[in-house]
Amino acid sequence: MKKKFLLLMVLLLCIGCTRINNNNYDVIVNDVIENSNNIYNTNSLGYKYYLPFSINKVYDKDYNQIFKVNDTYMYLYVDVISYYYKNNLNLDDKDSSDSYYYYKINNNKNKNGYVKITKDKDKYFMKVVYNYAKIETYVEEYELADILSYSMIILNSINYNDNLIEKILQDDYYSSSFKEYKIKKPEDAESKFSEYLSEYVGEEDSIIPDLPEYYIYTDKKRLMQVITNFINNALKFTNEGQIMLEYRYKAESNEIEFAVTDTGMGIAPDKVDQVFDRFVKLNSFSKGTGLGLSICRSIIEHLGGTIGVESEMGVGSRFWFTHPLRLNQ
């Protein structure tokens, strides 16, 4: 074990000495994976990992960390939800044609992912997705090999604590508490909802429409988590106009469809099919991990429904999900 670790350290020292070609990036990725070790020096909520000593952690909040090495910042996002449920993830980047470098990582230990490097003016944007986590950074060309090595060492070393994650998820995300609930328009909903939204979007008639009553058998906490996420997302990207919450019965599938519609900025066509994927953010400059909508998808699938979005740039978006209309059986 010590011999492997020393070999890895020698590799890192050598990397900084010379400029390497794309084939050598493959070598870096595979060498880090092959020389895995069980050394950890950093703990977080539900997982631990090894942070190379030349890297400083400057921000830490549960599943988001920011590291700094010299003048370069590295952003780590960890998806414990997908790890715990072993979601069958599509980790291929849907557009690798513009890449300076692209490499798909296949590991028989269920640690799959990819490395994508694209040129952005005089710098390079690097995205490394692996082991249910991601690191993003902007680097100079001479830093590419070093930062790739550091990224792979961190991601490959992540060790998840199943027992702790299970407790976290039971408390916060997927506690299964299914009961029969009546769906109806609350009394005075129009004025309260309008008053709440007008504070953000400046519109008095952002109201819930006339809604009938239905019964569903569901986990109320999880259902409200998705609706709240949709509304917060709409608030984030709607500066003026209207945000509307609605639901309707779909007789052909015996489902209730819930939807949040806004008059916000809309979603770019090349992003619409990706918004529910892990680590995809609607706005690259917004704060967050890009996990919110992915979690919504996992919840809705857990409840037996489907999820989707329709959007047009400059017009707005409509996020929706379905839920089976059924009683406790």
pLDDT, tens only, 58-116? 888 767 788 999 989 999 988 887 787 776 555 555 555 667 889 988 876 667 889 99
Strands 214-219 and 178-183, bridge-based pairing: antiparallel
Output 304 or 9, whichever has higher pLDDT. 304
**Long-range pairs for 163-171: beta carbons < 8 A, 24 or more residues apart:** 164/45, 164/46, 165/46, 165/47, 165/80, 165/83, 165/84, 166/84, 168/45, 168/46, 168/80, 169/80, 169/81, 169/84
Backbone region of residue 105 per phi and psi (left: phi > 0; alpha: psi in -120 to 50; beta: other values): beta
Output 201 or 165, whichever has higher pLDDT. 165
* Residue 96: per-residue pLDDT: 59
Confidence label for 117 from pLDDT (cuts 50, 70 and 90): very high
Q: Does domain 173-324 have CATH number 3.30.565.10?
A: yes
The residues of the chain that CATH labels 3.30.565.10 are 173-324
CA distance 149 to 15: 9
Q: What's the predicted TM-score (pTM) here? A: 0.56
User: 21 by DSSP, 3-state: which?
Assistant: coil
* Residue 145: per-residue pLDDT: 92
- Give me the residue label for tokens 């967050």: 288
- Give me the residue label for tokens 């595979």: 30
Burial class (CB in 10 A: 0-12, 13-18, 19+), 108: exposed
Strand partners, 135: 76, 128
Helix (H) or strand (E) holding 64: strand 64-69
Kindly report the number of other CB atoms within 10 A of residue 24's CB atom: 14
Half-sphere exposure of 168 (CA within 13 A, CB side): 16
The CA-atom distances, in angstroms, between 178 and each of 112, 181, 216, 291 are 34, 9, 10, 24
Strands 159-160 and 178-183, bridge-based pairing: unpaired
Mean pLDDT of the chain: 75
* Residue 280: per-residue pLDDT: 52
